[in-house]
Amino acid sequence: MTAEIIDGKAFAARVRGQVAEQVARLKADHGITPGLAVVLVGEDPASQVYVRSKGKQTVEVGMNSFEHKLPADVSRYDLFALIDRLNADPAVNGILVQFPVPDHLSEAEIVARIDPAKDVDGLHIENAGLLASGQKAMVSCTPLGCLMMLRDRLGDLSGLDAVVIGRSNLVGKPMAQLLLRDSCTVTVAHSRTRDLPGVVRRADIVVAAVGRPRFVPGDWIKPGATVIDVGINRLPHEEDGGKGKLVGDVDFDSAVRVAGAITPVPGGVGPMTIACLLANTLTATCRVNGLDEPEGLTA
């Protein structure tokens, strides 16, 4: 058996199309153009690539894109002054501070400074708490994208065994909350989990978000399971003869022979993350204006 390969790129293009449609309607009916502000501190080349691609896609769906580049040694004071300005700016509906930030800045403090209603990363404690208590929240883009792909493939998720490998605030924890809300039986596994292979082998749904290249081999996968690979690991150049190949947290070549469906890296979860960032910006815009939630684009 060989798995269906879930085409995240095509899926993301569909999501962006839905976003663009609803942005056009917002403009026509209400004269509102959603705006997304992305803040980049320092000059990390990988981050620059993501930020550029986010800005381009934001404009493509008809939203305003505001890019703010700050020097790597920017003071906490100056960064917070910018966040305060963006919080107060009615043209800005979503704010994303690209992580990681330099060591002298605290990610927790930055997140706490962002208006929860504009927190399109879903990282603010208020949004984490709302999600955990089953209320309307801004939901982190990567788990939201994973949920969309799972629902698309499996329909009703209720009663399924789901394992999330990884317990980060950005991915693992919100992913577990979303799966629980869709009535899965959820296990959150991590580096201290005993018999991880045995735990993963029980799962109908495996979400791998550990950040270790090819960590999950095919023989941990239950035949027919749906495997969502969140990892984006760039292999050292010497291991692939030049380019720094991207691989996931799942060993794709062995897992694809066992799974029922699997997301590739690249071209799986990554493109969905950016599409969901745009979806979240649209959702935030609708909420702040007291309009109906965009259909099919929220958790």
Contacting residue, 6, 36, 40, 96, with ligand GUE by CB under 6 A: 96
Determine the interface stretch with ligand GUE among 69-77, 219-227, 249-257, 263-271 (rule: CB under 6 A). 263-271
> Among 60, 70, 3, 71, which Cα is nearest to 281's?
60
Active-site annotation holds for 121 = yes
> For residues 9 and 47, is the Cβ–Cβ distance under 8 A?
no
Contacting residue, 35, 260, 271, 294, with ligand GUE by CB under 6 A: 271
Contacting residue, 274, 276, 284, 286, with ligand GUE by CB under 6 A: 274
According to the binding rule CB under 6 A, does residue 267 interact with ligand GUE? yes
Q: Of 216 and 265, which has the nearer Cβ to ligand GUE?
A: 265
Determine the interface stretch with ligand GUE among 14-22, 96-104, 178-186, 208-216 (rule: CB under 6 A). 96-104
> Among 78, 98, 80, which Cα is nearest to 37's?
98
List the structure tokens of 7: 């085409």
**4 phi/psi in degrees, rounded to 5:** -70, 135
- Expressed in angstroms, the distance from the first to the final Cα of the chain is 32
Q: Of 50 and 80, which has the nearer Cβ to ligand GUE?
A: 50
> For residues 228 and 149, is the Cβ–Cβ distance under 8 A?
yes
Residues 141-180 that bind ligand GUE (CB under 6 A): 141
Contacting residue, 213, 231, 270, 294, with ligand GUE by CB under 6 A: 270
Residue 295, Cβ neighbours under 10 Å: how many?
Answer: 8
CA dihedral 71, 74, 78, 80 (to 10 degrees): 100
Q: What residue has token string 């700016």?
A: 89
Q: How far apart are CA 204 and CA 163, in angstroms?
A: 8
- The count of chain residues that interact with ligand GUE, using the rule CB under 6 A, is 16
Residues 14-73 that bind ligand GUE (CB under 6 A): 50
**Single-letter amino acid code for the residue at 273:** T
Q: What residue has token string 């296990």?
A: 187
**Single-letter amino acid code for the residue at 159:** G
Residues 232-261 that bind ligand GUE (CB under 6 A): 232, 246
Active-site annotation holds for 27 = no
Question: Catalytic residue among 119, 121, 182, 229, which?
Answer: 121
Chain residues binding ligand GUE by CB under 6 A are: 50, 96-99, 121, 141, 232, 246, 265-267, 270-271, 273-274
Active site residues: 54, 98, 121
Binding residues for NADP(+): 166-168, 232
